[in-house]
A = this chain, B = another copy of it.
């Protein structure tokens, strides 16, 4: 295990940190203010596009692109500390065109898209001109078990007809979103992991209805949003199917591994920022004649936060390293492990930071509450903790089975 950051990584870390200090943190409020202007939050704040332009200019753009897909791409280990920095701000990832689910979707296009599809969807995505959504989760069934999916994709001549109801499709409320990748069943009678397929559905296809967006602990996450989307007799050309019928589960697996690592690295960034805010606050507030930082209980929170973050980061780096050197499949236990461990640490650290901030901590005067709400969703996004723990135990128990 060699986690030494490459020279390239170190330079990018430095540039990113400088960019965050100079442009991102000071504009978090600007972003929010522009969003709140005029009553309709479902529009793009100008500051976002300005910062995107600047990031692109400075070469801090599409850093998520993987080495094994594109020349000049980064390994998971190289990208991990960069994603961490971006994750310190909730508006960070998109500024660098590194936000979910677009990154995962772009990887899908890169790997499985036809030239035509790449031209039409991948290029504008890489340029940050359009957004995309990934329609997987369904309201009626527990989506942690992919075999539960009810959305149907049926062949009809040269077309596929899609019927289903999806929700939590991030970017679904964004006016810039043009393309959906939809997971559904082409053959409910095939073997368990061959029933699903993925298909491209342009957002403006007849039969597509974005019914509403869902909030996360009161946050609407405008302007991207998490949408509930109805698909009624939606027809797309047969070539829109990715890789072919029955390959949906396989694509999902390939997509989710790196996605989980990215989520975790960003969550560590959020935890680091919370620890920083906690320390600053503890140094600046006085109760009962002492600074908060002199209270033993607060010190314990700070120490535990550091201990927990440090361990979580190391496990994430190890996971990235294993993905790079042994492959995503070999690293599946590690991926499951960080998926459980990191959100838990992140939630604990932010919760302590909130408590140190008192009432201010739950408001939007600090980024803590929204970061917390975000991290809370990670405990079921891409599979709930419980399913990951079950998988880890299964792998762990294997050597002792039938002995």
A residues at B contact (CB < 8 Å): 1-4, 39, 137, 139, 141-145, 148, 167-168, 214-220, 226, 275-276, 279-280, 282-283, 285-288, 292-293, 295-300, 302-304, 306-307, 310-312, 314-315, 317-318, 333-334, 337, 340-341, 354-355, 358-360, 362-365, 369-370, 372-373, 376-377, 379-381, 384-394, 396-397, 399-403
**Chain B residues with CB under 8 A of A2:** 1-4
**Chain B residues with CB under 8 A of A360:** 139
Task: Evaluate contact between B145 and A287: CB separation under 8 angstroms.
Answer: yes
Cross-chain pairs A/B with CB under 8 angstroms, 24 sampled: A2-B4, A3-B3, A142-B285, A142-B286, A142-B287, A142-B292, A145-B286, A216-B218, A216-B369, A217-B369, A218-B219, A218-B220, A280-B400, A283-B401, A296-B297, A300-B393, A303-B388, A303-B391, A303-B392, A306-B337, A311-B312, A311-B314, A314-B315, A314-B318
Given contacts A145-B288, A214-B363, contact A397 B310 (CB under 8 A): no
User: CA separation between A387 and B296, bound complex, in Å?
Assistant: 10
**Chain B residues with CB under 8 A of A355:** 379-380, 384-386
Set B318, B372, B397: member contacting A283, Cβ < 8 A: B397
User: CA separation between A393 and B39, bound complex, in Å?
Assistant: 44
Besides A303-B340, A359-B380, 19 new A-B residue pairs in contact (Cβ under 8 A), listed by A number:
A141-B286, A144-B287, A148-B286, A215-B218, A215-B363, A217-B218, A217-B370, A217-B372, A293-B397, A297-B389, A303-B389, A303-B390, A303-B392, A307-B392, A314-B315, A354-B376, A355-B380, A359-B377, A359-B381
Task: Evaluate contact between B384 and A168: CB separation under 8 angstroms.
Answer: no
Residue of B nearest to A276 (CB): B400
Task: Evaluate contact between A397 and B287: CB separation under 8 angstroms.
Answer: no
Q: Separation in Å of the A326 CB from the closest CB of chain B?
A: 14
Q: Separation in Å of the A374 CB from the closest CB of chain B?
A: 10
**Chain B residues with CB under 8 A of A314:** 311, 314-315, 318
Q: Separation in Å of the A383 CB from the closest CB of chain B?
A: 10
User: CA separation between A286 and B167, bound complex, in Å?
Assistant: 18
User: CA separation between A145 and B296, bound complex, in Å?
Assistant: 16
Task: Evaluate contact between A389 and B300: CB separation under 8 angstroms.
Answer: yes
Q: Separation in Å of the A394 CB from the closest CB of chain B?
A: 8
Task: Evaluate contact between A306 and B214: CB separation under 8 angstroms.
Answer: no
Given contacts A295-B296, A337-B306, contact A362 B377 (CB under 8 A): yes
**Chain B residues with CB under 8 A of A285:** 141-142
Task: Evaluate contact between A358 and B297: CB separation under 8 angstroms.
Answer: no
**Chain B residues with CB under 8 A of A385:** 355
User: CA separation between A181 and B163, bound complex, in Å?
Assistant: 58
Q: Separation in Å of the A279 CB from the closest CB of chain B?
A: 5
**Chain B residues with CB under 8 A of A288:** 145
Residue of B nearest to A143 (CB): B358
Task: Evaluate contact between A370 and B287: CB separation under 8 angstroms.
Answer: no
**Chain B residues with CB under 8 A of A286:** 141-142, 145, 148
Task: Evaluate contact between B217 and A217: CB separation under 8 angstroms.
Answer: yes
**Chain B residues with CB under 8 A of A402:** 283
Task: Evaluate contact between A303 and B217: CB separation under 8 angstroms.
Answer: no
Task: Evaluate contact between A365 and B214: CB separation under 8 angstroms.
Answer: yes
User: CA separation between A302 and B336, bound complex, in Å?
Assistant: 13
